[in-house]
Amino acid sequence: MSFPFQTVALIGKHKNPEIIAPLLRLGLYLEARKLEVVVDCLTAENMPEKKYTAMTMEDIGRQADLAIVLGGDGTMLNIARKLAPFDVPLVGVNQGRLGFLTDLSIETMLKTLDSMLDGKYVEERRMLLYVEVLRDEAIAFSALALNDVAVSRGVGGNMIEFEVRINGEYVYSLRSDGLIIATPTGSTAYALSAGGPILHPSLDLIALVPVSPHTLSNRPIVVGPDAAVEILMHRTAVARVHSDSHSHLDLQENDRIIVRRSPHEVTLLHAADHSYYRMLREKLGWSGLPRNPAC
């Protein structure tokens, strides 16, 4: 990571006109700080004037020192996967409610960025997963995931059946609606709704969370970062594999899904006063200690 930052990329939620005004305001602010401003090609298409150089994601990865993403967590997930191979640090600005990944608000972004661009920030490294599907020993699908890789039955389908191996060792066979393989980042997403544990993002761990298993003794398992998780499909119905609920492939019987840690990581920058636990309280609605009723 290059600091102080010289070239800053602005990336907005695709086809969202409401993001253009704050993006232009942010661009003027960065120019006033004598920084070079570029935008990604898709964002540039929606801007009323071509004021800033438009770049592909690959060029942003090679040339930008920092990328500021305006949108929501879904937008950040998409951009993080694309820029992870280039190790460009990311700052997330949320246009609505603050997110798990986009934790700056549009209303206070300039004040917060003023401190961050002076070097007052918290840096987090987040692990990613790499998934590939082998069909007849050929790679039929591959993708990166910041949140999770999920194998799930399709809409209206029956339970699917598969076996799970970790580092080549048989663990169990499962009849369920699916299985989520989640990073610590993804532990507060789909995996949380399926009863998985919350993992602090500083940990390098992988969680395996069954979705509505037929046998109630099938519980979530947390394994180390070097684990290679292999899923062999036996009964697929209309099953699919998803990467961050984005890229997907329809599965067939005898497909092998292999999930392991990616060599790439994502770097997120937060304000100096960022607190993961405060964010959990706000996002998950955790309350304080109960009070005794008045007598």
Q: Return the active site residues.
A: 73
Q: In the chain, which ranges are E strands?
A: 7-12, 36-40, 53-55, 66-71, 90-94, 104-105, 121-135, 138-145, 148-152, 160-166, 169-176, 178-182, 206-211, 221-223, 229-235, 240-243, 247-250, 256-271
DSSP state for residue 84 in the 8-state scheme: G
d(CA 39, CA 41): 6
Cis before residue 85, ω within 30 degrees of 0?
A: no
Among residues 88, 90, 87, the alpha carbon closest in space to that of 121 is found at 90
Query: Are 232 and 251 spatial neighbours (Cβ–Cβ below 8 Å)?
Result: no
Cα-Cα-Cα-Cα torsion 63, 65, 143, 161, nearest 10 degrees, comes to: 180
Whats the size of the chain, residue-wise? 295
DSSP state for residue 282 in the 8-state scheme: H
d(CA 207, CA 145): 13
d(CA 164, CA 46): 45
d(CA 261, CA 257): 14
Question: Could you tell me whether strands 7-12 and 66-71 are parallel, antiparallel, or unpaired per DSSP bridges?
Answer: parallel
Query: Are 34 and 19 spatial neighbours (Cβ–Cβ below 8 Å)?
Result: no
